[in-house]
Amino acid sequence: MMRVLYALTFYLAQPLVWTRLLWRARKQPEYLRHVGERYGFHQSPAPSRLIWVHVVSVGETRAAEPLIKALLNTYPDHDVLMTHMTPTGRATGGELIAKYGGRLHQAYLPYDLPDACGRFLDHFKPRLGLLMETELWPNLIAAAARRNIPVSLVNARLSAKSQRGYLRLLPLIRPAFDALRAVAAQTPADAERLVAIGAQRVSVFGNIKFDVTPAPEKLELGKEWRQALGNRPIWLAASTREGEEALILDAFCRLNEPSLLLLLVPRHPQRFNEAAALVEERKLKLCRRSAGPLPTEDTQVWLGDSMGEMPAYFAVADISIMGGTLLPFGGQNLIEAAACGCPVLVGPHTYNFLQASEDATACGAARRIADAGSAAAEVKKLLADGAALQRMRDAATAFTQAHRGATARTMALVAEIMAPRTAG
């Protein structure tokens, strides 16, 4: 009954859904492309043997690369379908398709409406579904169960804040968990919170993001930038969220370090122009990555308004601060920064990636700061202490290497589920 009420509410909310699509399309017209897929309509024929991996947006898509590569290598007679929710996730998935070839496909995940989910599953007929991180869609999971399609939640994480929200929806969420074949949590704390909201058959596999290897060509690009920019110190503000750019820019101005270059990279591309306007309001000399030329000696802020170049930004920077941690957004993941050997500062709000943030801080790969002002002070302090920065770089590399292996454990789970479906 709860799922019926949920579905009815979702149907009645479609005018609001379309209003939201149109609103987002003002800055990202891509939101109005492939709209039919959001309702389960597909024109191109589907491959006959398919493994389906749901990756919501940019972060999940990048994190899934080791798993997708392993699936393609382990099951050469199967194709892999990536489903996304956002245009930026789809664009990132396009980069993986260009890298791994014609056996990798993509589409938007349909809205969680019974008929849309049914059309999607009947069209693609996946032999297995893997939902990344915390993607619980009751109608989708129920539709897969009716069609005997095993679905598992992998690389699963659940913050304390999200747990409180799910606890209010237990009659809707518990049946979805009942229908899942398995849940592979990132950490013991994630597993405990998932069990508390009804998850069953839960294991702790670690975080697949530790298995992501930064693209060598992006790291090389960062090295080329560093050579061109010389010894100029660079402070990277990575994946910043709304409201954080202003805080960081003001702290940067108060720091008054003429040689320091602030590399500012907003999380969402629709906010690039907004971030540029904030820089210009403060009468700081701005250079945009999208314009082509590298910063000159008088450039104060370099705006990283490009997609897919975050490893290069980490490679060129002396130190970074992770976006989403200064204001209560829960933080962006610092694992990619550590994998690139970039020392990291994190603010007080890291509940989305709490374990990784605490582990990185404990081993010396990261330092926690209270606000943008203290971040600027810490940047100045570390830039004056080359030995301390090098210790953080070494700790970052060791941190990522010590936590690898989640992909192999997830693939063992996949093999167990796929065995009876590939027999003969």
**Residue numbers annotated as active site:** 60
Between helices 160-167 and 188-196, what is the axis angle to 10°? 10
Supply φ then ψ for residue 291, to 5 degrees: -75, -20
Q: Which helix (H) or strand (E) holds 130?
A: strand 128-132
Q: Tokens for 59?
A: 């972060």
E-assigned strands of 348-421? 366-368
Amino acid at 424: G
Alpha helices, DSSP H, located in 31-158: 58-63, 65-74, 87-100, 114-124, 138-146
Ramachandran category for residue 260: left, alpha or beta (phi over 0 → left; psi -120 to 50 → alpha): beta
Supply φ then ψ for residue 153, to 5 degrees: -100, 120
Residue 331 Cα distances to 134, 153, 325, 350, 356, angstroms = 16, 22, 4, 5, 11
Contact 355/269 with Cβ under 8 angstroms?
A: no
Contact 90/104 with Cβ under 8 angstroms?
A: no
Ramachandran category for residue 253: left, alpha or beta (phi over 0 → left; psi -120 to 50 → alpha): alpha
E-assigned strands of 157-295? 182-185, 202-204, 234-240, 261-266, 286-288
User: Nearest CA to 285 among 301, 274, 273?
Assistant: 301
User: Nearest CA to 58 among 82, 40, 34?
Assistant: 82
User: Nearest CA to 41 among 113, 110, 139?
Assistant: 110
User: Nearest CA to 124 among 89, 91, 149?
Assistant: 149
Residue 70 Cα distances to 157, 212, 420, angstroms = 21, 12, 19
Beta strands 319-322 and 344-346: pairing type? parallel
